[in-house]
């Protein structure tokens, strides 16, 4: 796909980020089933995903895009293979995300309240690492403000908690 970086360079970057920001969340984009992708190449991607333990990944099945150089190449990976590879990586991602989120239980986390949650009587927001957090509150005036939330339960890509306190604007680091 004409990427200029190597896995080793990527590994060094991730290592550096984790050394300086141990609580950082790491995201990536992955395309499965790119033209001529072999089982070995796919397995290497899976191994990197296992090693890096991404908090989130945007995983997509390759499909030719008009105007892209690759649109001239054969789309020669069967759809069923692409679906299977996508599911394997998604399952891997779910495991890592849940593992990380579980480490947040009983911790007080800074959350930017972004709006009403789909669960009635709850608001939701995001952490600095873009993890979705919901908490019970009917106070819509909290939207747009930073709050401390004590994490009480987690899911694969989100968490739930209890409102602890507001973080005063002068205490919010930019």
Comma-separated ranges of CATH 3.30.750.200 domains in the chain: 7-102
CATH of span 108-171: 2.40.50.140
Q: How far apart are CA 107 and CA 111, in angstroms?
A: 12
CB 57 within 8 A of CB 25: no
Percent of the chain predicted with pLDDT > 70: 95
Comma-separated ranges of CATH 2.40.50.140 domains in the chain: 108-171
Q: How far apart are CA 154 and CA 105, in angstroms?
A: 7
Chain centroid to Cα 169, Å, comes to 27
CATH of span 7-102: 3.30.750.200
- List pLDDT tens digits, range 129-149: 999 999 999 999 999 999 999
pTM, two decimal places: 0.84
Residue 67's pLDDT is what? 87
Q: Cβ-count burial of 131 within 10 angstroms (0-12 exposed, 13-18 middle, 19+ buried)?
A: buried
């Amino acid at each position: 796909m004409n990427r200029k970086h190597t896995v080793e360079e990527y590994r060094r970057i991730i290592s550096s980020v984790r050394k300086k920001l141990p609580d950082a969340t790491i995201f990536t984009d992955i395309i499965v089933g790119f033209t001529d992708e072999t089982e070995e190449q796919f397995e290497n991607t899976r191994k990197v995903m296992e090693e890096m333990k991404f908090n989130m990944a945007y995983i997509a099945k390759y499909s030719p895009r008009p105007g892209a150089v690759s649109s001239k190449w054969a789309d020669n990976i069967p759809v069923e293979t692409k679906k299977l590879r996508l599911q394997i990586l998604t399952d891997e991602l779910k495991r890592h995300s849940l593992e990380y989120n579980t480490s947040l239980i009983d911790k007080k986390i800074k959350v930017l309240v972004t709006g009403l949650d789909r669960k009635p009587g709850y608001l939701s927001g995001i952490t600095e690492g873009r993890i979705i957090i919901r908490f019970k509150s009917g106070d819509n005036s909290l939207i747009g403000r930073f709050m401390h939330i004590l994490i009480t339960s987690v899911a694969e890509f989100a968490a739930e908690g209890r409102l602890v306190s507001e973080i005063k604007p002068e205490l919010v680091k930019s």
